[in-house]
Amino acid sequence: MPETQLPLSRYTVLDLTRARAGPTAVRQLADWGANVIKVEEPGQADGDGGPFDKRHGSDFQNLHRNKRSITINLKSTEGLALFKRMAGKADVIVENYRPGVKHRLGIDYETLSKINPKLVYASISGFGQAGPYKDRPGLDHVVQGMSGLMSITGLPGQGPVRAGIAISDSSSGIYCAFGIVLALLEREHSGKGQWVQTSLLQAMIAMLDFQAARWLIEHEVPPQAGNTHPTAIPTGIFKTSDGRIAIAASGDMYERLCRALGALELVTHPDYLDFKLRAKNRDALHARIDTYTEKRTSAEWIEALNKAGVPCGPIYTIDQTFADPHVKQMGMARPVNHPALGRIDLVGQGVTLSRTPPQVRTASPDRGQHTDEILGEMGYDAKAIADMHARGVV
């Protein structure tokens, strides 16, 4: 599909983000065709082995695909003027500085919206743009603890456990991208931009969803439930003769599970007759189910239980996930060519549109790779561009 036909191809986005949450938001826009210009500091060293600055590493390449890069010294008068000129023509700016930084640089929403009233300006921070914690440094690990996520993750009695991904970063990035698209849609009616705000903490609490509602509505503090589901029973990880499988058989699927296991006595057992009894006696029930699942291999149970209409699947390592034939057909590994790395595979999008699917078109850029190209689009000639390089403006 031509890039100009992608859903967001008519929008230009200035990307001031770093780390993970902000780049995740911008990646959503870039994959759907937005003209993303990554604005970076000139003269910075890349490839130092750090978790976010290793430009040719897997994380950076996955986060910053489909973008172009320009270097601008925002602390210089001319560099700031150049950025404001770009902001006057842009549709979206995304930043994830600490709240005070953008004001010190003079690139905050209030300032830039006077130049471009149609501008959609998006901010992500650890704790938001207001409140007693707004100036604290916010990282996923800290927010997983503050949000309550660690208290419900892990085995009962184990103590707080971190989720295996930077989930507050990813969640806030996706919420931010959703907010940006909402603001662009609203702009079609009002003709005005607005300030889109989220934070790692706000997004993570929203992602707690039913666990948060258990407290807000029922005043129940959810405990750790380990590999079992906190409310759907029986749901858990069960032993087989050659490994473990995941089974989810709550509600009317319970009897289907018992029949498929050849365990009809569990249907009529007085300890498991209804949901409340199964919840009360969950550990004992799971132990009984183990005695049946241990008799056959994982592959045999996965086939038999799915045929019976009981959700069941393997417990994969990441390499096994991407080797699965269904995952391959989904196209979750997206190939792209990098001038130094050659062909690499990046992680696909989490949603597909039938006529305008997302595209991984270009690898992540080197720092300042497109500076001259973008300045030319802004109307600067070769002499002016060379002069800005010489004076350290770009």
Residues that are catalytic? 169
Query: Is the torsion defined by CA of 167, 147, 194, 17 positive or negative?
Result: negative
